[in-house]
Every structure is written in C-alpha cells, then in structure tokens.
C-alpha cells in the first residue's frame, strides 16, 4: 500500500525514536492546548453557547517542531486523497493535516494520549466553526432552556454539560472505536475521520435540510438550531416555567444514536460487499432486475459480481449513506421491513432533481465506468450509452447494493 502520509509517519517514528525528548515535547504541546481549553470551559457558564479560544499558532508550530513544512503536508495529503479533495479548505488546512498525522502516529504506535489529544484539538476547532456559523450570537439563557426542556434524555446536549465534555467523552472515543482500525490498515482513511468529525458535529446543529417552497431557502427540519430559534421566537429562557407537554414530545434534533446506528450498518454492509469477491447472486434477483431495467441477464450478473472489489469501498460506502438517509433508516429493523424496498424505489431510484440524486448519479457513474473498463473490457462504452440506458444501469448498481445490504442486515 503506497501512502505519502505513511511516509511522513515513518519520518516521525524515526525522529521520535532517535530523540525521545522530541516526542515528549510534542505531547506537552498537545496537552497544553487541551489544558488551556479545559480551563476556559470550566470557567464559563455559557454551556453549549461556548466557543473555545484556540491558539492556532501553537498548532501550526507543531509542524516546525516535527521538521516539516505546510508544503510537505499538503503534498502528502494531496497524493493520498487526490487533487479534488484539496479544493476543500478544511482538507488543505495544515492545522487539520498535522493533527491527523499525529493521530495516525498515535494509532500506529499505540500512543493513546497523543492520538486522543490530537483528535480532540481537531474537534474543538470544528465545534468553533459550526457554532460560529449557526449560533454566532448565542444567548446562554435560551440555550439552557432548550437543553433543559426541549431536548429529551437521549439527546447528546442533555447528556453532557458542555462542548468540552461532549467532544472529549463522546466524540473522541466513538470516532476512534469506529475508525481507528480502518486508519491503521489504510492511512487514506484519515480523510473519512476528518469528514465524519465535521459531519457529526454539523448534524448536532442542523439536520435534514429541505427547501422551503415559499422562500426557496434550505431550512433545517431538526437540530439544535431549529429548537433554539423556536425558543427564541417564543421568548423562552431558562427562567421561563416549563410548558406542559414540551418534554420528550417537544421539537427534536434527532438522537445521535440514529447516526451511530447508520454508521454501523453502512460499515458492515460495505465490508461485506467489498470483502467477498466470490459472491454469487440468485437467478430470481437477476431476473427481477432484468424485468425492471431491460438490461441483459449476462450484463447484470457481471456488474453485480464486479461490485465485490475492495477498490470500490469508498464509493459503495457513500452510496449506502445516501440510500439509508433517503429512506430514513433509524435502525436495522427498518431495512428488513416489507416497506423498505418500496421506499428505495420511490426515494432513491426514482428520485430526481435534488442534491442526493445528483450525488448518487455521480457515484454510480464512477462505479460503472470502472466496471466497464476493468471487468467488461469495454473502455469508453459507458459514456456512449443513451441517458435512458445509463439510468437503467445505475438501477442495477443500486439494486445490487441494496440486495447485499438486506442480506447482511436481515440474515
């Protein structure tokens, strides 16, 4: 496995082993940043309105201490993640890149303190960004009312006393439990850790954005922002008596368990598909897909078998994410429900003119082009098909992935 980030890790390991004091200095730098953030947190009564005062320069100085430059980091991550990823400001930020590198070192060398501190500092900055975007002017009295009276007991904001404990005691261990082994096997998965860290914190503020037909603007259907704005509109603060019926039945920003369940389902299904290259499909399924799409039985069988390739892990993972999101899967039982396939057909296969549909189209196109080149030995063939034929081929991809999803979850 070729990885430029792994080469940087080899350099760190060599340097640290040659100079143990250098590793201690790096650990002290990380610990100092954490201690400073913790001191700020316990000295504040802002609750979830709190924003950390992070010493950006202290993190950037870690790059120099490690004998690296921002250019070294950028070139390494660009080589591992691709040029397209580097168009994202977060992906190309040396602040995140050096912390991910240290986290990777901690994973490989079983240095849990370095690993966890690096990840926590990364999460602190993501928290600051989401908080500033959605609740720049946050009234702590309103927020405390929301947390006390509008979040039910399952909600993360109700289970932790502020962002520091939420990030340190919940997000750090859950992210490591989910992704540490993946990152250990493949440092390119650091990109997924970064994106998941951002996505999971983002989800706490806004969820299920939909276009308001009247205004034409995207509005959150869930998330702490929606509840905060409702409480603000109604003049509710922590000093306002609780309104009857606003407990567990009040506005909800969704249980994080839902997202965590989805992650577990998606990871299990993706592993099952990509790690079982000799899978065969029942003739009944192939005949049904043939009836729906009019694609030849031979082509359907070849495409479905070609899905079982570890090189397609990321694309299949993303396809499953869209499928579960569009069908509102909350738990494994939803996938095994008799209504699930109908929801897939309506909300995934037949869905058009929305961001999810466009992303799904791109992902399926990537898979199909690779399959036509590598499996069917027909380079450039996919692009020559009519739009209708491409749609039917994408239906084959979705049908195969959903079949495997139900096979592993409902067995």
For 300-316, how does the pLDDT look when each residue is reduced to its tens digit (9 = 90+)?
999 999 999 888 888 89
* Domain of residue 375, residue span: 256-409
Sort residue 389 into left (φ over 0), alpha (ψ -120 to 50) or beta.
alpha
Helix (H, G, I), strand (E, B) or coil at 211: strand
pTM of the complete model: 0.58
Residue 298 within any structural domain of the chain: yes
% of the chain residues with pLDDT over 90: 57
Residue 234 within any structural domain of the chain: no
Closest CA to 4 of 76, 71, 69: 76
Residue 64 within any structural domain of the chain: yes
Q: Is 67 exposed, middle or buried (0-12, 13-18, 19+ CB in 10 A)?
A: exposed
- With both helix axes pointing from N to C terminus, report the angle between 190-205 and 70-81 in degrees, rounded to the nearest 10: 90
Are residues 299 and 171 located together in one domain of the fold?
Answer: no
Most confident of 43-57, 103-117, 267-281, 365-379: 103-117
Are residues 175 and 293 located together in one domain of the fold?
Answer: no
Are residues 303 and 187 located together in one domain of the fold?
Answer: no
Distance CA 386, CA 1 (A): 38
Residue whose entry in the numeric block shows the structure tokens 């009519």: 386
Helix (H, G, I), strand (E, B) or coil at 265: helix
Domain boundary among 149, 168, 196: 196
Which spans in 206-310 are helix H? Answer: 224-233, 256-274, 283-293, 297-306
Closest CA to 155 of 250, 240, 234, 235: 250
Spatial neighbors of 203 by CB under 8 A, at least 6 apart, are 223, 254, 256, 259
Residue 349 within any structural domain of the chain: yes
Are residues 396 and 327 located together in one domain of the fold?
Answer: yes
Residue whose entry in the numeric block shows the structure tokens 């990152």: 183
Distance CA 115, CA 105 (A): 7
**Tokens at residue 275, please?**
């790690």
Quote the number of domains for the chain: 2
Give bridge partners of residue 211 from the DSSP assignment: 218
Residue 203 within any structural domain of the chain: no
% of the chain residues with pLDDT over 70: 90
Residue 149 within any structural domain of the chain: no
Spatial neighbors of 100 by CB under 8 A, at least 6 apart, are 5, 118, 122, 190, 193, 194
Domain boundary among 196, 218, 247: 196
Are residues 34 and 172 located together in one domain of the fold?
Answer: yes
Q: What angle do CA 8, 188, 166 make, to 5 degrees?
A: 100
The neighbour count for residue 49, using CB atoms within 10 Å, is 20
Residue 304 within any structural domain of the chain: yes
Distance CA 169, CA 165 (A): 5
The lowest-confidence range among 36-40, 176-180, 187-191 is 36-40
Spatial neighbors of 25 by CB under 8 A, at least 6 apart, are 65
Does 209 score more than 50 pLDDT? no
Are residues 131 and 262 located together in one domain of the fold?
Answer: no
Are residues 175 and 286 located together in one domain of the fold?
Answer: no
Distance CA 328, CA 262 (A): 10
Does 277 score more than 70 pLDDT? yes
Are residues 123 and 272 located together in one domain of the fold?
Answer: no
Are residues 192 and 279 located together in one domain of the fold?
Answer: no
Q: Kindly state the average pLDDT of the residues 294-305.
A: 94
**Radius of gyration, alpha carbons of the chain:** 24
What is residue 239's predicted lDDT score, i.e. its pLDDT?
55
Q: Kindly state the average pLDDT of the residues 96-101.
A: 97
Does 261 score more than 80 pLDDT? no
Q: Is 261 exposed, middle or buried (0-12, 13-18, 19+ CB in 10 A)?
A: middle
Residue 219 within any structural domain of the chain: no
Are residues 96 and 187 located together in one domain of the fold?
Answer: yes
Are residues 404 and 272 located together in one domain of the fold?
Answer: yes
Are residues 174 and 267 located together in one domain of the fold?
Answer: no
């Amino acid at each position: 496995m070729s990885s430029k980030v792994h080469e940087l890790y080899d350099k760190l390991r060599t340097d640290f082993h040659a100079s143990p004091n250098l590793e201690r200095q790096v650990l002290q730098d990380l610990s100092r940043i954490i201690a400073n953030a913790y001191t700020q947190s316990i000295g504040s009564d802002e609750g979830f309105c709190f924003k950390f005062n992070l010493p950006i320069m202290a993190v950037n100085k870690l790059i120099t201490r490690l004998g690296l430059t921002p250019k070294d980091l950028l070139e390494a991550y660009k080589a591992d993640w691709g040029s397209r990823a580097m168009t994202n400001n977060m992906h190309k930020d040396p602040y995140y890149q050096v912390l991910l590198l240290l986290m990777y070192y901690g994973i490989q060398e079983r240095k849990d303190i370095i690993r966890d501190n690096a990840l926590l500092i990364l999460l602190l900055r993501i928290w600051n960004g989401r908080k500033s975007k959605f609740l720049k002017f946050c009234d702590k009295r309103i927020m405390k009312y929301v947390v006390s009276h509008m979040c039910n007991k399952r909600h993360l904001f109700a289970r932790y006393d502020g962002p520091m404990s939420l990030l340190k005691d919940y997000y750090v261990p859950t992210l490591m439990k989910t992704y540490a082994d993946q990152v250990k096997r493949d440092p390119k998965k650091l990109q997924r850790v970064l994106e998941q860290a951002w996505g999971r914190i983002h989800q706490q503020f806004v969820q299920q954005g939909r276009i308001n037909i009247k205004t034409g603007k995207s509005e959150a259907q869930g998330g702490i922002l929606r509840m905060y704005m409702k409480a603000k509109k109604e003049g509710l603060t922590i000093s306002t008596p609780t309104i009857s019926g606003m407990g567990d039945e009040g506005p909800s920003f969704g249980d994080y368990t839902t997202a965590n369940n989805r992650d577990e389902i998606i990871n299990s299904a993706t592993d099952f598909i990509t790690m079982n290259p000799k899978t065969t499909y029942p003739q009944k399924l192939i005949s049904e897909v043939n009836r729906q799409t009019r694609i030849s039985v031979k082509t359907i069988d070849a495409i479905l078998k070609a899905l079982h390739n570890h090189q397609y892990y990321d694309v299949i993972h993303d396809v499953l994410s869209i499928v579960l999101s569009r069908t509102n899967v909350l738990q494994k039982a939803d996938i095994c429900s008799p209504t699930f396939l109908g929801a897939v057909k309506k909300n995934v296969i037949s869905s058009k003119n929305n961001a999810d549909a466009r992303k799904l189209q791109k992902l399926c196109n990537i898979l199909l082009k690779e399959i036509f080149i590598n499996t069917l030995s027909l380079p450039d063939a996919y692009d020559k098909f009519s739009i209708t034929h491409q749609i039917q081929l994408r239906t084959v991809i979705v049908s195969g992935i959903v079949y495997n999803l139900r096979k592993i979850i409902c067995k």
